Amino acid sequence: MLRIVSLLALMLCASTASAQTVLRVAHWLSPTAMPIPVFEKWLQSLERASNGSLKVQIFPTGQLGKPNDHYDIARDGIADLSWSVPGFNAGRFPVFGVLELPMIASNAPEAIHVFDEWYRSRHAGKEMADVHYCMAITTPVSSLHFTKKEVVLPADVRGMRLRPQNAISGRYFSSLGATIVTGAAAEVKQAVDRGLVDGVAFPWRTLFNFNLQNDLKFHLDLPLASGPSAWVINPRAYKALPPDARAAIDSHCTSDWARRIVKEWDDWDAVGRKDLQAAGHKITAPNGKQQALWRESTVAAYDSWVADADKAGVNGRAELAEFQKRLRERKAGF
């Protein structure tokens, strides 16, 4: 009898293993870089919620493609679930880029909840029609960090060489008279050491990630950039999933999960600001009149986004107003 039970147990285990779907997950950062540890907790929760029907296999550090390829990696089925940064593909996802606008949001966790609800319900089905949209994520709001001098007003960046966070922030800084220096985040340290960059747009603690905390000692505490991204799924892989697995994914591709992930990232980032202040760095918070000048300097960036959205068949002015109204209601705007 014991032998029979043992054989039955083995058969059941084999049946369970054969029913398990391996979910190939792609991203382009090292496993220890934020926010990857937070993403891994999310994926572990996804596995548990699937009742054993899903097993996650992670391909980190760009093993399946370059950072700007990760949307297409999911679309083409190279991965089943992929972390994509639409801003790496300038002009391809114009509506998604609204969260990249300067001075649009100040509270990243609430802003991503608002953005994900707005984009999911109104735009993802058209702009990302060739994937199954999971959810949006964003970096903590980025400030500007400089090597040589304090910056207080928009005019102060004229003639500087700045590394932006994405194409929209690059166009904005260029409109202020800055020279834009492009390159991967991992290349910024070398550029700073060689005197090729005067300032960068990064979240606070990212400076420590790239060993820049001793090079960039002047900081403008103003939300001039953000880095929204999206988890996207291969649509054929999603449709082929068994019910338990699909339900688990649906329960983990939500605005609430987006806020939860970004909140943990944002709390982690806040430590960096405190550490820089404790190290004696100069952190400048513009007053009301100075902020008004910065706000005025962003008008062209907003008009450009509206024009790009219009070209994509969206009423840009109306959608921008709707998004900003939602941000204000949740006290997430700036």
- pTM of the predicted protein model: 0.92
- Using an 8 Å Cβ cutoff, are 176 and 193 in contact? no
- Using an 8 Å Cβ cutoff, are 9 and 3 in contact? no
CA distances from 297 to 35, 41, 68, 257, 307 (A): 31, 40, 29, 34, 17
Q: Domain 21-139+228-268 sits in which CATH superfamily?
A: Bacterial extracellular solute-binding protein, family 7 (3.40.190.170)
- Side-chain half-sphere of 283: how many Cα atoms within 13 Å? 15
CATH number of 142-225+271-297: 3.40.190.170
- Using an 8 Å Cβ cutoff, are 232 and 71 in contact? yes
- 10's CB contacts (< 8 A; 6+ apart) are none
Domain with CATH 3.40.190.170 in the chain: 21-139+228-268, 142-225+271-297
Per-residue pLDDT of the chain (334 residues), as tens digits, is 333 333 333 333 433 444 799 999 999 999 999 999 999 999 999 999 999 999 999 999 999 999 999 999 999 999 999 999 999 998 999 999 999 999 999 999 999 999 999 999 999 999 999 999 999 999 999 999 999 999 999 999 999 999 999 999 999 999 999 999 998 888 999 999 999 999 999 999 999 989 999 999 999 999 999 999 999 999 999 999 999 999 999 999 999 999 999 999 999 999 999 999 999 999 999 999 999 999 999 999 999 999 999 999 999 999 999 999 999 999 999 9
